[in-house]
């Protein structure tokens, strides 16, 4: 079932949505990345399919923080808001930047099969680059945290 769901999307936004939903349901990006790696062993998963799913998995992993923030202090809820904001903003930036470059430069690897290591490497690069991209916005994120009425 997961193979059909996760490989059915050619639209990156639907891939992000699928990754978000699957990861949100199982509440673990490590588990969803593991599932994605298992699917890659079938040879049916391309880089173009996997990249948005990995982005979505990073948003879906926020479900654990969201559930944990129920009935806790205002500051704990604010941390959850920042966690979600970082994951969502990072994904939006990646979608804009990465797919803008893909529109101009035809990356031949996008249609090639992705392997277990490729998924792990992209997942790591995605998170490292998100941190670098969002670092200049730390003051804005702090203002967001302070303004949260949670």
**Interval 40-54: pLDDT, tens:** 999 989 999 999 999
Indicate the range of 19-28, 33-42, 133-142 predicted with least confidence: 133-142
Q: What is the DSSP letter of 114?
A: P
End-to-end CA distance of the chain: 37
Question: Is the pLDDT assigned to residue 146 strictly greater than 90?
Answer: no
Is the pLDDT confidence value at 106 over 80? yes
Residue 79 has pLDDT above 90, yes or no: no
DSSP states of 16-78: HHHHHHHHHHHT-HHHHHHHHHHHHTTT--BHHHHHHHHHHHHHHTHHHHHHHTTT--HHHHH
Provide the pLDDT for residue 148: 66
Classify the phi-psi angles of 19: left when phi > 0, otherwise alpha if psi is within -120 to 50, otherwise beta: alpha
User: What tokens appear for 114 in the block?
Assistant: 């992705």
């Amino acid at each position: 079932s997961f193979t059909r769901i996760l490989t059915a999307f050619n639209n990156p936004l639907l891939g992000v949505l699928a990754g978000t939903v699957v990861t949100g349901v199982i509440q673990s990006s490590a588990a969803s990345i593991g599932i994605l790696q298992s699917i890659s062993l079938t040879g049916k998963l391309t880089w173009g399919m996997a990249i948005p799913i990995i982005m979505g998995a990073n948003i879906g992993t926020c479900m654990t923080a969201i559930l944990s923030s129920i009935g806790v202090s205002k500051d704990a809820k604010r941390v959850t808001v920042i966690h979600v904001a970082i994951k969502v903003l990072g994904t939006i930036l990646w979608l804009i930047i990465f797919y803008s470059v893909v529109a101009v430069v035809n990356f031949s690897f996008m249609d090639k099969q992705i392997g277990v290591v490729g998924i792990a490497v992209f997942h790591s690069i995605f998170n490292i680059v998100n941190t670098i991209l969002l670092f200049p916005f730390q003051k804005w994120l702090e203002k967001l945290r302070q303004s949260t009425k949670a």
